[in-house]
Amino acid sequence: NKVTFDYSVAKKFVSDTEVKMIQACAETAKDQLVNKSGAGNDFLGWIDLPVEYDKEEFARIQKAAEKIQKDSEVLLVIGIGGSYLGARAAIEFLRHSFYNSVSKEIRKTPEIYFCGNNISSNYMNHLIEVIGDRDFSINIISKSGTTTEPAIAFRVFKKLLNEKYGRKEAAKRIYATTDKSRGALKNLANEEGYESFVVPDDVGGRYSVLTAVGLLPIAVSGADITKLMEGAASMRDYCLNQPYDKNDSLQYAAVRNILLRKGKGIEILVNYEPSLHYVSEWWKQLFGESEGKDQKGIYPASVDFTTDLHSMGQFIQDGQRTMFETVVTVEKSSTEIILEEEEVDLDGLNYLAGKSVDFVNKSAMKGTLLAHTDGNVPNLQVFIPEQNEFYLGQLFYFFEFACGVSGYMLGVNPFDQPGVESYKKNMFALLGKPGFEAQREELLKRLQ
């Protein structure tokens, strides 16, 4: 059993011949990736990460997680973009649907809140209220160590921690995940003696979920990070060694590029499990930042079904025909509810008596798949056998590998993000940051 890709429902849009025709292009892109001969080749550390990670640091992550579990009721994870989405995706996928609100007896581990991923005073003030007078720790995550959003949140929550425990004790509750030697956060960590974890130089933010960036918060949540790595390692093996026609990740990259060339410029990642919501958010960042450049790329969007069938469903069925869907299905639900017969069938649901809720969910999925196909939306499928750490590790690696290949097929550097800088420059200028004086004048004039 493994995470698999299937385009059989989309054959009216993508034929086997076309998939064969694009094989050379996909394989060249794969070679560029694994031989490290393409653009951005200094950011390919993620390829071997599942088998070559720092075991000493891994053990330190597990120890730190145990300490946080013992001495904290709340963990704040401060980070943005690649320094936050992977951990959130994993925790929401692997742990309780109501992780923070369910009782401590069921959860067993600290509540985990993410911040520093926006610049909202309300969000931070409300979070301060949620923490109240409870014991808490902070995991500040920033590869560059200079990103504004997490830096601001860290200032606010570090002050809270210092006031509560005193600076020396507070420092023992701060865990910094950042560059091994550079940046403001690394300097601060050295200065204050925070326990530090490394974001390797050759792993970009959106490919960093299997480094300390993702692993520490995931471990604190009680999920098994060893199994996560094992899953990723097994998918790495498939991605690197399976031939094209059996290589799911390569086929996914190929098929989405065929669809793009046919005018399908939007890919919607679809799920039928609310716990996959943040996996979609992680996936959007991965593909959006990797491919959306040089006026190219597939726009990555996502919907949560069946919820969004009652909002976006109309557009997907019947609106502008520019999209395709990739439906992510968990094959075996981890829990089950069987619908019971009622004496008087007032709600008309007795025809479902004896059936499971997951059977209804899967029927909705299959029905929608066919309806959208009839509405001329190609439907690709990704199957996850079960909701656990091993398969999530596979899923992360499956998409990362496909993204690298797909970016090269598209002719872009999938490992940089020059476009992210534009808003930062304007924001710094408007905030009056030293060094941005000229831009400030110009922008203020434009805003008048």
| Residue number with CB closer to ligand PA5 (83 or 196) | 83
| Residue number with CB closer to ligand PA5 (35 or 190) | 190
Q: Is 413 in the site for ligand PA5 (CB under 6 A)?
A: no
Piece of the chain touching ligand PA5 by CB under 6 A; list 65-73, 75-83, 258-266, 424-432: 75-83
Residue 77 CA to residue 40 CA, distance in Å, equals: 29
Binding to ligand PA5 in span 280-309, by CB under 6 A: 289
Q: How far is the CB of 134 from ligand PA5 (least distance, A)?
A: 27
The 116-145 site mask, x for binding ligand PA5 (CB under 6 A), equals: --------------------------xxx-
Q: Is 404 in the site for ligand PA5 (CB under 6 A)?
A: no
Q: Is 206 in the site for ligand PA5 (CB under 6 A)?
A: yes
3-class state of residue 356 by DSSP: strand
Element (H, E) at 326: strand 323-332
Nearest to 47 by CA among 61, 31, 59, 60: 31
Catalytic residue among 111, 267, 289, 325: 289
Active site residue 158: no
Residue 78 CA to residue 413 CA, distance in Å, equals: 28
The 414-443 site mask, x for binding ligand PA5 (CB under 6 A), equals: ---x--------------------------
| Residue number with CB closer to ligand PA5 (107 or 284) | 284
298 touches 289 (CB < 8 A): no
Q: Is 400 in the site for ligand PA5 (CB under 6 A)?
A: no
DSSP string, 162-182: HHHH-HHHHHTTEEEEE-SS-
Piece of the chain touching ligand PA5 by CB under 6 A; list 201-209, 216-224, 342-350, 425-433: 201-209
Active site residue 159: no
Number of neighbouring beta carbons within 10 Å of residue 117: 19
* Angle formed at CA 426 by CA 424 and CA 429, multiple of 5 degrees: 105
Residue 421 CA to residue 416 CA, distance in Å, equals: 11
Q: Contacting ligand PA5 (CB under 6 A), which of 22, 64, 74, 80? A: 80
List the beta bridge partners of residue 267: 300, 324
Number of neighbouring beta carbons within 10 Å of residue 32: 18
236 touches 397 (CB < 8 A): yes
List the end-to-end C-alpha distance of the chain, in Å, as a whole number: 61
Catalytic residue among 424, 437, 441, 442: 424
Q: How far is the CB of 185 from ligand PA5 (least distance, A)?
A: 8
3-class state of residue 346 by DSSP: coil
Piece of the chain touching ligand PA5 by CB under 6 A; list 96-104, 202-210, 297-305, 375-383: 202-210
Binding site for ligand PA5 (CB under 6 A): 80-83, 142-144, 147, 150, 204-206, 289, 417
